[in-house]
Amino acid sequence: MISYLIKRIFILIPLFFGIILISFLVIHLAPGKPTGIQTDLNPKVSMEVRKRLEKLYGLDKPLIVQFKDWSFRLIRFDFGSSFIDDRPVWDKIKERMPITILINLLSLLLILIIGIPLGVKSALKQGSLFDKTSSSVVFLGFAMPTFWLALLLMGLLGVHLRILPISGIKSIDFEFLNTGSKIVDIARHLALPVFVSAFGGLAGISRYMHQGMLEVINSDYCTAAFARGLPKNQVIYNHALRNALIPIITILGLSIPGLIGGSVIFETIFAIPGMGRLFFEGVMARDYPMIMGLLVLGSIFTLLGNLLADIAYAWVDPRIRYSK
C-alpha cells in the first residue's frame, strides 16, 4: 500500500507544476497587451486595469522571470491583492472558504444518504415498479439544470409558500436568537442550497450504485455465499454491498470538481457568501488576481480530493492494502 500511495503522491508534483503552468498561460490571455478587440462592450478594460495587471504580474519582465515569480508566489499562496478592495486575495478567500466547504460536505452527505440506498434498492428489485420509477427519476435528475431547479424551488417554497428563506445564510435578527434557534436558522437557510447542490450528484451516485450492485450480485462469490446457506440479506450486505461500495469512493473523488464548479451557481442564486460567489463577483468585476487565485485553489482542492479518495480506496480495498 505504501508504494501505491507514494506513486500517487509523486504524480501530484508534475500535476501541480502543470497547474502553475496553465494558470500562467491563462493570465497571459488577459488584455495586458493591446489586443485590438477593444469595443464598447467592455469598458472595464481600461488603461488603468492594464497598468495594474502589469504591476501585479510583472508583465513587462522576461517570461522566465515572470514564471519564476508566479510559481514562488503561488507556493506561498500570495495571489496578490483584489482589484475591488485592495485586500489580499488569500484573506478574502479564507473568509469564504468555510461556508462553501460546509455546504459541499452537507451536500455530499445528502448524496450518500439518499443516493446509495436508492441505487441498492432499485438494483435488488430489478424490473419492479420501484426500479422503473427510480430509474426514470434519476434520469430526469441528470438532465435538470441546477439553476433552474434553484429558481423553481425559490419561487415555490420561498416566494409562494414562504416556507424557506431564499437568500443569505442568516436572518436579519440572527444575533438576537438563542443558540438553538441560531442553528435552526442557519439550517433553514442552507436547506435549499444543499438540496440543489446535491441533486445532480444524487442521480449520479444512485446510478453507479445500481450498476455496481447488479454486477456484484451476479458474481461468483455472492453465489458461493448464497450456496453456503447464508441468508439473502446477509449476502447482500456483507458480501455484495461491501464490494459495490468501493468504486463509489473513486467516484466521489471524481465528483469534487463538479461540486466546486456548481457552487458558483447556487451561491450566486441564493446569495451565499462563499467561494463560489466570490469567484462570480471577481469575474463580474474582472478582478484578475481573485479569478486566478480561485482557479488555482479550485484545482488544488480537486487534487487533494482525489488524493484523499485514493488513500481511502487503498485503505478499504484489501487487494491494495495488503499488496505485495
The interface with another protein within residues 1-60 (CB under 8 A) comprises 11, 14-15, 18-19, 22, 26, 29-31, 37, 41-42, 45
Question: Binding another protein by CB under 8 A: which of 142, 185, 247, 311?
Answer: 142
First and final CA of the chain: distance in angstroms? 8
Q: Which is nearer to another protein, 25 or 129 (CB)?
A: 25
Question: Binding another protein by CB under 8 A: which of 98, 117, 168, 261?
Answer: 261
Do 248 and 239 meet the contact criterion of CB atoms below 8 Å apart? no
3-state secondary structure of 88: strand
Site for another protein in 157-196 (CB under 8 A): 158-160
Site for another protein in 86-125 (CB under 8 A): none
Do 166 and 268 meet the contact criterion of CB atoms below 8 Å apart? no
Question: Binding another protein by CB under 8 A: which of 145, 163, 168, 181?
Answer: 145
Q: Which is nearer to another protein, 55 or 183 (CB)?
A: 55
Least Cβ distance, residue 181 to another protein (angstroms): 27
CA distance 134 to 179: 39
Question: Binding another protein by CB under 8 A: which of 58, 98, 117, 155?
Answer: 155
Question: What are 298-305's contacts with CB under 8 Å, separation 24+?
Answer: 298/257, 298/260, 298/261, 299/19, 299/23, 300/16, 300/19, 301/256, 301/260, 302/256, 302/257, 302/260, 303/12, 303/15, 303/16, 303/19, 305/253, 305/256
C-alpha cell of residue 46: 481600461
CA distance 55 to 28: 13
Q: Which is nearer to another protein, 36 or 180 (CB)?
A: 36
Binding pattern for the stretch 274-303 against another protein, x by CB under 8 A and - elsewhere: -----xx-xxx-x-x--xx-xx--xx-xxx
How many Cβ atoms are within 10 Å of 286's Cβ, its own excluded? 17
Q: Which is nearer to another protein, 154 or 190 (CB)?
A: 154
Do 294 and 275 meet the contact criterion of CB atoms below 8 Å apart? yes
Binding pattern for the stretch 219-248 against another protein, x by CB under 8 A and - elsewhere: xxx-xxxxxxxxxx-x---xx--xx--x--
Q: Which is nearer to another protein, 44 or 184 (CB)?
A: 44
Q: Which is nearer to another protein, 174 or 280 (CB)?
A: 280
Say if residue 288 is exposed, middle or buried (CB neighbours under 10 Å; 0-12, 13-18, 19+).
buried
Least Cβ distance, residue 18 to another protein (angstroms): 4
CA distance 317 to 163: 44
Do 149 and 266 meet the contact criterion of CB atoms below 8 Å apart? no
Quick one: which segment of 105-113, 145-153, 176-184, 188-196 binds another protein (CB under 8 A)? 145-153
Q: Which is nearer to another protein, 168 or 184 (CB)?
A: 168
Quick one: which segment of 68-76, 96-104, 191-199, 256-264 binds another protein (CB under 8 A)? 256-264
Least Cβ distance, residue 135 to another protein (angstroms): 11
